[in-house]
Structures are given as structure tokens and as C-alpha cells.
Chains A and B, each alone.
Chain A
Amino acid sequence: MQFLKDAKYTLHVAFHPFDGFWDLKYENKGKLRIALTILFGVTVMMILKRQYSGYVVNFNYPLDLNSIDELKYIALPFLLWCVANWSLTTLMDGEGKFKEIVIATGYAMLPLILIYLPNLLLSNVISLREASFYYLLESAATLWFVWLLFIGTMTVHQYTVMKTIMTMLLTVVVMGIIIFLGLLFFSLIQQFIGFVYTIYQELSLRA
């Protein structure tokens, strides 16, 4: 029952973001499990979307579809965003804790489910000429999501508007830096392992 109540509250956040995000942080109404459920929901939604959108708007090569890939496209960026945002706001005196960032980001993704689901059904009955409505709704979902993310970030960290925009842009940059460092790390590890293995081979062949 509590879960249902929390789930219903996500709608309140989506439609009344200022009020909603405030309560998430200060009235302790935000639940981590709800945020993660939304994340999971979005992932499932994207998988369904790729597979089942109407042929008229579906340009995916069926043999390339892989549900595991959605981790790469949704779960990883989500995690990266949260980590990057947290690392950045800690330095830029933001008031948000990591948990609060995860919750705000998770709740902000709700519109993606809210719009994509009816859009998915719609896409199966529209023709090419009506496809622009489909794309209109798609962009509406994205804009709504960005809007919520903006309000969420602003509320969680108690920032001004300009500072929020700056932080969000910088977060994207930091995400890029994290990916770069990650790749560098893996590349170095790989080289190192290769080096050790060659030495081992050399020794074992000589002995």
C-alpha cells in the first residue's frame, strides 16, 4: 500500500515539480526504491520501444537489437550523471547528498514512461503522414524530462537558475571526463597485463 502511495506521488512530482521536489528532499517523501523502479521502468520502456514501435517510425535493424545494450544507453548514463553531478556539486557547495541526487534524477525520468507508452501504441496505427505527431510527442517527453531534471537539480542543491544551468552543462563535461579516464584506465591495465604476460612467457620459454 505504501508502495502504491509512493508511486502515486511520482505523478505529483511530474506535474507539480517545484512543490514535488521540495517535498522529496525536505519532507522525506522521496524513496530510493521508487527512483530505481522508475529507472528500471524506463529501461524496459526503451526495450519495448525499440522492438515494438510501429514499422513506419521504427528504423532499427532487427538483427542489431540487444536488450543488454539498454544498460549502456540508460543505466550507465544515469549512473554517470549522478556520480558526475555529485562530484561537481560537492565542490560547488551544493546541498544535495548522493542519495538525493539519485532520487531526483530518477523521479525526473517519469515523463519518459508516461509519454513513451501511449506513443508506442499510437505509433502502430499512424501512417507516414501522421508520423510528425509521433516525433512531436517524443520531443515533448524529452523536454519535460529535461525540465524536471532542471527543477530537481535546482531544488536538491538550492541553486539559482544560472548556477543550475552551468552545473548541468558542466556535469555533461565531467561525464565525458569520467568516460575518458575509465577508458584510459582499462587501456593501461590491458597493457600492463600484456607486459606481465610477455615476461612470464619469456621466462617460461627460457627455463
Chain B
Amino acid sequence: MIIFGLSPKSAQASPYQGYTYSYWGEDVKSPIAYLPSRTITGQELGIGPFTTPSDMFASSDGNLYILDSGNGRIVVLNSEWKAIRQIQDFDNNGKQDSFNKPEGIFVTGGGHIFVADTENRRVVVLDGNGTFIREIGAPKSEVLSDKFEYIPRKVIVDKAGRIYVVARGVFDGIIEFDSEGEFNGFIGTNPVQFDPVDLFWKTVSTKEQREKMIRFVPIEFNNADVDADGFIFTTTADKKTSVPVKRLNPSGIDVLRINGEWGPIGDLSRDRSAFIDIDVSDNGVYRTLDSTRGRVFTYNEDGNLLYVVGQLGNQLGTFKTPIAIESFGNRIFVLDRDLGMITEFTATKFGRLVNEANGLYSIGKHDDAAKLWEEVLKLDANYEMAYVGIGKSMLRQGEYKQAMKYLKLGNDREYYSKALTKYRREYMREYFGIYMTIAIALIVIVMAVRRGLRLRKGGMKQHAVSQGR
């Protein structure tokens, strides 16, 4: 009993461990950033169980929209988790219409609801009360082949009203519609990836054999989100790709910042993480949901891993089949498809500190951030981001030597080198005079000694000559 009492025990038990990855790619334990605070199912809401819910959306006013796919309805929860609305049927130009296994939902800032009505092959637009506005059918264009099948899975809308649809079996990228619902084209095509071994077999096999082989096709996107600047974050679930997360600018070019060796790829293990959803929150922070191990990886805008939350399992705070992730303020929501349940995670002290420090850090307030990073270090002395944050702040304040120490601990060679350059200059300015004096004095002494020796030798020679005479 005594031993048990003495053994260190976490303040709140958690079914998963907190960790991050060090610069060297080793997993380092870290405090838990988010703890499960509550869960909710359809029964608890009094509206009947959710049947294979497939997506949800946390809107800016704090409401949570759940797309209850199997029941073909949208459930709207307010921030107190009361069901304030259910949208099941709508009036489509005089006739009653409903959803058929919809998979994606998006709510604009103006309150319009976009639903990717998958089996009906269309995107439905409703207003906040569930009144039908319009529907957007399959894209029509000459560039699409006749066999093109339109199965929309996810939909997002940017600030300008452009609609982006992630569709199943589409390898050309994300389908873009303008605000009127006209097909614009594809953006962000993934490059074709193949195994060199497969390529070898393909080149040596006959034409008949080749036709039976799998074709090398680009990887399709499986989910997307849009950030405040209108950039589109996409995920691919393929375990072979080295860039499962992309940040596409309006012309479809990946502009995701990757600082460091690894980039946002989830767990650094042989069995790679497979991202199935992504959620962009403030200050460029984004969270990806991994279906391999049921974990939520949170990255900052530089692609540094901040913390990891969740796991597969059957306790509170673990999932069976996580399908969607959303966040609002300091809370994260994860939707479990098979359990029909939403789990809410709330930030711990550590999580709040990291979020806040990273927020200040990303808008360039390094000095304010440094104070918080120091708090973070008190909780986790292995948190490399914090060392880098403090180091950058010290670099600005002109404390170059200290900055070098912290940046080395945080393994940031680029900024370490900057600090070193400054420190070097400062050092030389201070000690140049002394070193130069010493050097000149040495030279003078050496010359004097040499001359003295020569004089002596010459004198002796003269002496010898005078003796000989």
C-alpha cells in the first residue's frame, strides 16, 4: 500500500499516453495535452441513435452539425450539447426530398449548409433552417470522359464561395465549382507514385500480362478543409505517400510548410498512419485524424508536431472507428462511426499553454511566447519547440550566447547559425583590440629576439675576426 501510494500517479487517468517526436525521430513522452471530458450519443440526446454518422462540422458560433448518414439527417447541437434542430427532409421545388447516405457536410460563415449527398450524386445547399436553396449535380465538361462517375464524398466552400468537392475514384484532384455551381476544373492533382520493383516487372512483362496488372494512378484525396486565408488542406490515406497532408493555394500548388526532417506524417513507424480527416484551427494549427491507431496529431503551421491525443480502444477517450474531427476553442471533437458517438476532449494546462504559446509564436510575438514556453518547459523539459521559441526570443533581445544554447537544445540549426554569426561579430568587436595588441606585441618580441641573436652572432664573428688578426 505504501509503495502504491508513493508511486507517481498522473492527476487524471488517461487511456492513452502523450508523446511527441524528437529531432532524432525518437518518440519522447510528454504530458497529456487533452483529456476526454464527455461523450454523447443519439440516445442521450433523445433523438434516437446515430447510424453510421460520417461527418460533422463545428461552426463559428459554437454549434456542432452532425451528419447522421444512415438516418439521412443533420443534427445540430448547440454548445450546451442540446439538439436544437434536426434536418431530415426538405422541399425541393415542390416535391419532398431527402438525403441518401451523405458523407460530407460543410457550413459557411453565413450559415448555409452544404451536404455531399453521396448516393444521390449531388451537393445539396440548405439554409440554416434546413430550407432547400439549390443542388449542384455532376460536373459537365468536355474534359471529363463519358465513363466518369460522380460520387461526391466531401465538400468545402471557401470565402469567395467556390465549392470544392472530394469525390471517390477521382484521381485528377479536387473538383472545383464556382459559386454558381459551374464546373471550373480540377485542382491539386497528386503525382503518380509507383514502386520501382513493380515498374521493373511491368517493363519485362508482355502486353497481355501488363493489361492484367494494376495501373499506376495518382492517389486520390480523401478529405479536405479550408483555412481562414482560403487555402485548402487535403489528406490522402495512402500509407506509401511521403506527403499525406497538403496545403493548396488557389492555383492548386502545395504550399505546406515543412520544417524539420519529418513533416506531418503521423507516427514514425513502419505501419504508417493513415489520415482520414483534417481540421484547421487558428494560427495555422491543423489536426489530422489517423485511422491506423486512432490518434489525433496536431501540427503547427511549420509542420512541427505539437501533441498527440487519443488511441484505438474501448475506454472513455479512445475510439473504435474514428471518422471525423473538429475543434472549437480549446476543445476537440472526434466522431466515432460504429459507436455513433462523439467524444469531446478538453485541453489540460499543458495543452492550453502550448496552444497559447504557439499562437503568440506564430504571429511573431516571440517575447510574449517565450514566457509561456518557459512555463511549458516546467511541465515538459523535452519539448523542443519551447527551446526554439525561447531561443528565437533571445536572439531578438540580443542575448546571442543564451540564444545559441537554447536553439541547440531545440535542434534548430538555421537559427543557431544566425545566433552564432551575431555572437561571433559581437565577440570580435569586443576582443579584437586585445587580440591584435597581443599579436603585434608577439611579432615585435620575436623580431627583437631575432635581431638580438643576429647581433650577438655578428658580434662574435667580428670578435673572432679581430682575434685572428
Chain A: residues with CB nearer than 8 A to chain B?
55-56, 61, 125, 127-129
What is the minimal beta-carbon distance from A58 to any residue of chain B, in angstroms? 9
Cβ-defined contact, B24 with A127, below 8 A: no
Residue of A nearest to B411 (CB): A55
CA–CA, A127 and B421, complex, Å: 6
Q: Could you list 14 further interchain pairs (A-B, Cβ under 8 angstroms) beyond the known A56-B420, A127-B424?
A: A55-B408, A55-B416, A56-B413, A56-B416, A56-B417, A61-B24, A125-B420, A125-B424, A127-B417, A127-B418, A127-B420, A127-B421, A128-B414, A128-B417
Residue of A nearest to B22 (CB): A61
Residue of B nearest to A64 (CB): B24
What is the minimal beta-carbon distance from A103 to any residue of chain B, in angstroms? 37
Cβ-defined contact, A129 with B417, below 8 A: yes
Interfacial chain B residues near A125, Cβ < 8 Å: 420, 424
What is the minimal beta-carbon distance from B120 to any residue of chain A, in angstroms? 55
CA–CA, A55 and B403, complex, Å: 14
CA–CA, A71 and B292, complex, Å: 43
Instruction: Tell me which residues from 41 to 97 in chain B have a Cβ below 8 Å from any Cβ of chain A.
Output: none
CA–CA, A128 and B414, complex, Å: 7
Across the A-B interface, give the 6 residue pairs with the lowest CB-CB distance, nearest first: A128-B417, A127-B417, A127-B421, A61-B24, A56-B417, A55-B408
Where chain A touches its partner, the secondary structure class is loop
Interfacial chain A residues near B418, Cβ < 8 Å: 127
Residue with the greatest number of chain A CB neighbours at <10 A, chosen from B408, B416, B420, B424: B420
Jot down 19 A-B pairs with beta carbons below 8 A, ordered by A: A55-B408, A55-B413, A55-B416, A56-B413, A56-B416, A56-B417, A56-B420, A61-B24, A125-B420, A125-B424, A127-B417, A127-B418, A127-B420, A127-B421, A127-B424, A128-B413, A128-B414, A128-B417, A129-B417
CA–CA, A101 and B417, complex, Å: 44
What is the minimal beta-carbon distance from A141 to any residue of chain B, in angstroms? 23
CA–CA, A128 and B419, complex, Å: 11
Residue of B nearest to A124 (CB): B420
Can you list, as one digit per residue, whether each of B417-439 has a CB less than 8 Å from chain A (1) or not (0)?
Answer: 11011001000000000000000
CA–CA, A129 and B416, complex, Å: 12
Residue of A nearest to B404 (CB): A55
CA–CA, A127 and B413, complex, Å: 9
The tally of residues in B whose CB lies under 8 Å from a CB in A reads: 10
What is the minimal beta-carbon distance from B42 to any residue of chain A, in angstroms? 50
Can you list, as one digit per residue, whether each of B390-424 has a CB less than 8 Å from chain A (1) or not (0)?
Answer: 00000000000000000010000110111011001
Residue of B nearest to A59 (CB): B413
Interfacial chain B residues near A128, Cβ < 8 Å: 413-414, 417
Interfacial chain B residues near A56, Cβ < 8 Å: 413, 416-417, 420
CA–CA, A55 and B408, complex, Å: 7
Residue with the greatest number of chain B CB neighbours at <10 A, chosen from A61, A127, A129: A127
CA–CA, A129 and B424, complex, Å: 14
CA–CA, A129 and B414, complex, Å: 9
CA–CA, A61 and B420, complex, Å: 21
CA–CA, A13 and B232, complex, Å: 65
Residue of B nearest to A125 (CB): B424
CA–CA, A56 and B407, complex, Å: 11
What is the minimal beta-carbon distance from A146 to any residue of chain B, in angstroms? 30
What is the minimal beta-carbon distance from A54 to any residue of chain B, in angstroms? 8
Residue of B nearest to A54 (CB): B420
What is the minimal beta-carbon distance from A127 to any residue of chain B, in angstroms? 4
What is the minimal beta-carbon distance from A135 to any residue of chain B, in angstroms? 14
Interfacial chain A residues near B424, Cβ < 8 Å: 125, 127
What is the minimal beta-carbon distance from B93 to any residue of chain A, in angstroms? 64
CA–CA, A55 and B413, complex, Å: 8
What is the minimal beta-carbon distance from B422 to any residue of chain A, in angstroms? 10
Residue of A nearest to B420 (CB): A127
CA–CA, A125 and B413, complex, Å: 14
What is the minimal beta-carbon distance from B226 to any residue of chain A, in angstroms? 36
What is the minimal beta-carbon distance from B426 to any residue of chain A, in angstroms? 13
CA–CA, A41 and B417, complex, Å: 30
Residue of B nearest to A56 (CB): B417
What is the minimal beta-carbon distance from A132 to any residue of chain B, in angstroms? 13
Residue of B nearest to A63 (CB): B24
CA–CA, A115 and B58, complex, Å: 62
Interfacial chain B residues near A129, Cβ < 8 Å: 417
Residue of A nearest to B424 (CB): A125
Interfacial chain B residues near A61, Cβ < 8 Å: 24
Interfacial chain A residues near B421, Cβ < 8 Å: 127
What is the minimal beta-carbon distance from B314 to any residue of chain A, in angstroms? 37
What is the minimal beta-carbon distance from B427 to any residue of chain A, in angstroms? 9
CA–CA, A56 and B421, complex, Å: 11
Interfacial chain A residues near B24, Cβ < 8 Å: 61
Residue with the greatest number of chain A CB neighbours at <10 A, chosen from B408, B413, B414, B424: B413
CA–CA, A127 and B418, complex, Å: 7
Interfacial chain A residues near B414, Cβ < 8 Å: 128
Residue of B nearest to A62 (CB): B24
CA–CA, A55 and B404, complex, Å: 10
CA–CA, A96 and B157, complex, Å: 79
What is the minimal beta-carbon distance from B35 to any residue of chain A, in angstroms? 32
Residue of A nearest to B23 (CB): A61
CA–CA, A129 and B421, complex, Å: 10
CA–CA, A162 and B24, complex, Å: 45
What is the minimal beta-carbon distance from A84 to any residue of chain B, in angstroms? 33
CA–CA, A125 and B426, complex, Å: 13
Instruction: Tell me which residues from 210 to 237 in chain B have a Cβ below 8 Å from any Cβ of chain A.
Output: none
CA–CA, A55 and B410, complex, Å: 12
What is the minimal beta-carbon distance from B191 to any residue of chain A, in angstroms? 29
Interfacial chain B residues near A127, Cβ < 8 Å: 417-418, 420-421, 424
What is the minimal beta-carbon distance from A53 to any residue of chain B, in angstroms? 13
